[in-house]
Amino acid sequence: MLAESIKLIRDLWSGEKITFDGMYYCTQDAKLYTLPPQDIPIYISTMVPESAQFAGYHGDGMISVGGSRMKVYRQIMEKFEYGAKRAGKDLSGMPRAIELFVAYGNRLEESLERLHKYWAGAFIPAQFTNKIHTPQMSQQNGEIVGDDILRQKACISSDPEEHAKYIKQYIDAGFTHIYIHCAGPDELKFIRSYADDVLPLIKEQR
């Protein structure tokens, strides 16, 4: 189904009328009347090695989420590269992105509390495998997550060098784009402090 959807999207970028008779949905003379200036790259989300090969074969790039063991990410990268090579693609032009959760600053207990409040529901599989469809349900789901689990899934530290080291392991694993997520009400303050304190260290490492 997903492969058919990707093909349909790409066919629509031609500007022609597209009729599609699929297993789950159909289109009749579908047409994009305002075309993008260039084809939009399709990144496929992958959380496990089994889906990474599909992402490499059918997608223009991939995106994952941090929190698993590094062994899993190395396997994801291997499968993604294998899928891309099977499709005859140039791997050097295919972004491999990952979102990492962090808490940074001098008031780590508050940061940990915010991470638990806003994002803990996403740290257990039920968020994605069960019918959880409201923020309230996600919050209730996350209440069973302990601080020890949060520390395993995120980098929680006031030391810039520890954050740089945490990010570097994902760069070394093959990820080309790193997105940093910090749960809290003052995102701009976090972005500025992280840019001043952590990013220069990452550039030095590279």
pLDDT of residue 182: 84
pLDDT of residue 143: 61
pLDDT of residue 109: 73
Q: Same structural domain for residues 130 and 34?
A: no
Q: Same structural domain for residues 17 and 79?
A: no
Q: Same structural domain for residues 113 and 160?
A: yes
Q: Same structural domain for residues 64 and 114?
A: yes
- Give the range of the structural domain holding residue 26, as residue numbers without chain letter: 1-38
Pick from 165, 169, 189, 196: which is nearest to 77 by CA?
A: 169
**Contacts of 154 by beta carbon, 8 Å cutoff, 6+ apart:** 66, 67, 100, 101, 102, 103, 115
pLDDT of residue 161: 95
pLDDT of residue 67: 75
Pick from 44, 46, 103: which is nearest to 72 by CA?
A: 46
pLDDT of residue 118: 62
Q: Same structural domain for residues 43 and 127?
A: yes
Contact 59, 96 (CB under 8 A): no
pLDDT of residue 140: 60
Q: Same structural domain for residues 119 and 189?
A: yes
Q: Same structural domain for residues 108 and 187?
A: yes
Q: Same structural domain for residues 145 and 51?
A: yes
Q: Same structural domain for residues 65 and 92?
A: yes
User: d(Cα 74, Cα 169) in Å, to the nearest integer?
Assistant: 11
Q: Give pairs for 162-168: CB < 8 Å, separation 24+.
A: 163/102, 163/104, 163/194, 163/198, 163/201, 164/198, 164/201, 164/202, 164/205, 166/100, 166/102, 167/100, 167/198, 167/202, 168/202, 168/205
Q: Report how many domains make up the chain.
A: 2
Q: Same structural domain for residues 24 and 58?
A: no
**Contacts of 55 by beta carbon, 8 Å cutoff, 6+ apart:** 44, 45, 46, 62, 80, 83
Q: Same structural domain for residues 85 and 29?
A: no
φ and ψ at residue 97, rounded to 5 degrees:
-105, 155
User: d(Cα 147, Cα 117) in Å, to the nearest integer?
Assistant: 11
Kindly give the parts of the chain with pLDDT less than 70.
Answer: 1, 108, 114-151, 206
Q: Same structural domain for residues 56 and 81?
A: yes
